[in-house]
Structure 1
Amino acid sequence: MNMLKSSDLSWSTILGYGVGHIFNDICASMWFTYLLLFFQKVLYFQTVDSGVLLLVGQIADGISTTIVGILASKLSNLFFCRKYGGRKSWHLIGSACVLVSFPFIFLPCIGCETALRGTQMFYYSCFIILFQFGWACVQISHLALVTQLSDKGETRTLLTSLRYLGTVVANVLVYAVTWLFFGLEGGNNDISSKDSEKFRNVMLVGVGVGCVTTALFHILVREPDTRSFQQERTCRSLLRP
């Protein structure tokens, strides 16, 4: 509470930033907890194929993180980035990529349920790669925005703490929603293709919450102009005794 009072940001900006990474956290929770279970138990993929898809995602994440980290600073002078904010622009691009790709990862292959193994592997790999690129965009831009919003150590600590609090909330939400769809029925605990709709419902709830929190982030958080922020920071440093 004392940190909130001493912050140089408004409560709405702090709240908006705090929920800006929840969509990513929800997707990450489902990815690491239920991906292999969904592919093996619901889609009946072989263990090796499920592992390969997970590996594709992790490799794509590493490559995307490196590429986005390089391009984020070099493309900051583009017209849209200057008008909307470089960090928020990348966050918006990443969120859009996650939104159009992640739902298909937890749905049966549309139009290729009876296709060859290679076709389905290619289908899911495309969505996984796009998802990991979008996830990296959101992660890097959201974390980098901390230094843009404030130059006070207390405020940055507060924002970082809220970011990780959002991770905890997202994980609890995913587990709670999963329990609601899977745990209330009781009886047979075996997961099969009949549970495809339950995974879909969990995914839809997660995506819905993620869209709301992402919208709040873009509405409540205003990214300062980089040049103005640097000038203000320079003036503050000169005025300090």
Structure 2
Amino acid sequence: MAKETVDDESCGQPLGRCSVFYYGVGHMLNDVTSACWFTYLLVFLTDIGLPPRDAAIVMLSGQIADGFTTIFAGELIDRYGRFKVWHAAGSLLVAVSFSSVFGGCLPCKIIGSNSSSMRTISYSLFAAIFNVGWAATQVSHMSMVNCITLNSTSRVVLASCRNAFTMVANLSLYAVAFVVFNINTRGSIIDVENQYRWIAFTSIFIGCCFVAVFHLGTEEPRLKLEAHEIGHVRISWTYWFSKLLYHQVALVYVLTRLVTNVSQALLAFYVINDLQMTQSSKALVPAVIYICSFVVSILLQEITWTGERLKALYSAGGLLWIISGAGILFLPSGMKVLMYVLSIVIGVANALMMVSGVSMQSFLVGEDLNGCAFVYGSLSFMDKILCGLALMALESYQSSIPEVCNCPHPSFHFSVTRYGLGLVPAICALIGVVVTLSMKFPEPTLTPLIDPLLA
């Protein structure tokens, strides 16, 4: 009993800077590959000749595999723990399979068929395998937050630190992409495949280095294992479904992921096709967004968090995205330089929404640790499926409806991409703000970090 008291007290203490850092880098491989997935997958597949509808099928297959794996992994983690084992296995699968998503069609070469159907099946298969590993890593890493510490402020700081390193991962990807797009010029389909193969291999190398740091620096949380040993019963799914806050947090999280994923997937199409910017802008514009997100995420780590502050900051981010959506919708190609200004606003909005949106899950879980993996898994399931369906619908509509010029100026027209990037995230942000303002969070223990991160 004395040992349990000591463990409870230690878990309730705020975390030091090193512990926060080691945890924060644990999702870098997932983040860098996810950035490549959402930013360049549809562009890559259409550049090598796949119709937009088939490209959307490839992405949807990955999203579906990801969504169902989150449920499966969340259930097993809640039963048996072993976060780092799941994290390592998932990371290995991601590293092995990701290069095949952006590589050539290996089954096409083996079978001797280069038909559109064969390529779609091949890329869909590797996309599904990649997302199975990605989901296992994500659920195990997110679930660790509530078992590393019982301190509410430290949990939010961990989420904020993870978001900051998400920005680092994205910036690393876009730096690599900028170099590749400028050195290796586009020509044939082989040249395009080589471009993205270099980006994929470099991303995997960077991510694996940080995965090694995470596993060497972070200990397997003992709290969940000890809870099973002393007879705590695993929390039933029905417990979460009966809580209004679960449904509110789930809706806000899904809407937030729709905002970030849909905007990220359509951004490259928008800057190239609608604004007529250079090829390097496919890396520069997202880089500006993530630099701003990174700075804001770092600053958010110094805040003492309450439920009211979560709601206020999420609402601020949502309002900024609504403003950005209006700007994207009406920005003519003759004023393309203003896209960099909009990128700054989008970066700030993304950071505010993601940090507060993910932190809401920690407030929801509280001390109900034996069901936390189900919470993260179920919310991620809804996020992946709905994002996949949304992108599938946008791509299918784009392939079947010709773009219509509704403006007499030749440098401006309302394309499907412009509607999707301008309206869909803005509407999702508006709904998210409305739901957030209706939430009632339990008040956390207000305890700062042992070592300020900006000291």
Distance, in Å, in 2 between the alignment partners of 1:55 and 1:227 is 36
Of 73, 91, 98, 2:94 maps to 98
Contact 2:55 2:120 in 1 (8 A): no
Question: Which of 1 and 2 has higher RCO (CA within 8 Å, sep 6+)?
Answer: 1
Could you tell me which residue of structure 2 aligns to residue 80 of structure 1?
none
Could you tell me which residue of structure 1 aligns to residue 336 of structure 2?
none
Identical columns (%): 33
Of 95, 105, 128, 1:109 maps to 105
Map 1:146-165 → 2, pairs under 5 A:
146-165=145-164
Give yes or no for the alignment of 1:180 onto 2:179: yes
Aligned residue for 1:166, secondary structure, equals helix
Q: CA deviation at 1:196?
A: 2.0
Could you tell me which residue of structure 2 aligns to residue 27 of structure 1?
33
Distance, in Å, in 2 between the alignment partners of 1:46 and 1:33 is 17
Distance, in Å, in 2 between the alignment partners of 1:18 and 1:63 is 25
1:59-116 residue CA offsets vs partner (Å, 9 max, x unmatched): 2222222222222222x1xxxxxxxx61111111111111111110010012524414
1:42-66 residue CA offsets vs partner (Å, 9 max, x unmatched): x322222111111111222222222
- Structure 1 unaligned spans of 5+: 1-5, 77-84, 232-236
Of 215, 218, 224, 2:215 maps to 218
Map 1:14-163 → 2, pairs under 5 A:
14-41=20-47, 43-74=48-79, 76=80, 86-110=82-106, 112-113=108-109, 114-115=112-113, 116-163=115-162
- Structure 2 unaligned spans of 5+: 1-11, 230-366, 368-455
Could you tell me which residue of structure 1 aligns to residue 334 of structure 2?
none
Distance, in Å, in 1 between the alignment partners of 2:15 and 2:75 is 29
1:128-182 residue CA offsets vs partner (Å, 9 max, x unmatched): 1111111111111111101111111222121111110011111111111101111
Distance, in Å, in 2 between the alignment partners of 1:31 and 1:183 is 20
Give the AA of the match of 1:146.
Answer: V
Contact 2:63 2:128 in 1 (8 A): no
- TM-score by length of structure 1 reads 0.80
Distance, in Å, in 1 between the alignment partners of 2:108 and 2:225 is 51
Distance, in Å, in 2 between the alignment partners of 1:228 and 1:62 is 29
Distance, in Å, in 2 between the alignment partners of 1:141 and 1:230 is 17
Distance, in Å, in 1 between the alignment partners of 2:177 and 2:166 is 17
Map 1:160-239 → 2, pairs under 5 A:
160-183=159-182, 192-193=188-189, 194-225=191-222, 226-228=224-226
Distance, in Å, in 1 between the alignment partners of 2:188 and 2:22 is 39
- TM-score by length of structure 2 reads 0.44
Q: For this pair of structures, how many residues does the alignment match?
A: 216
Cα pair distance change 1:29/1:227, threshold 3 Å: closer
Distance, in Å, in 2 between the alignment partners of 1:48 and 1:224 is 44
Distance, in Å, in 2 between the alignment partners of 1:111 and 1:137 is 26
Q: CA deviation at 1:195?
A: 2.7
Distance, in Å, in 2 between the alignment partners of 1:135 and 1:108 is 21
Cα pair distance change 1:10/1:191, threshold 3 Å: farther
Say what the alpha-carbon RMSD is for the aligned residues: 2.6
Could you tell me which residue of structure 2 aligns to residue 81 of structure 1?
none
Aligned residue for 2:62, secondary structure, equals helix
Contact 2:97 2:126 in 1 (8 A): yes
Distance, in Å, in 2 between the alignment partners of 1:205 and 1:227 is 37
Q: CA deviation at 1:10?
A: 4.4
Distance, in Å, in 2 between the alignment partners of 1:69 and 1:180 is 38
Give the AA of the match of 1:50.
Answer: A
Q: CA deviation at 1:125?
A: 1.9
Cα pair distance change 1:20/1:138, threshold 3 Å: same
Aligned residue for 1:19, secondary structure, equals helix
Give the AA of the match of 2:179.
Answer: L
1:15-37 residue CA offsets vs partner (Å, 9 max, x unmatched): 21110011111111101111111
Distance, in Å, in 2 between the alignment partners of 1:94 and 1:227 is 21
Cα pair distance change 1:91/1:118, threshold 3 Å: same
Aligned residue for 2:144, secondary structure, equals helix
Aligned residue for 1:20, secondary structure, equals helix
Contact 1:7 1:154 in 2 (8 A): no
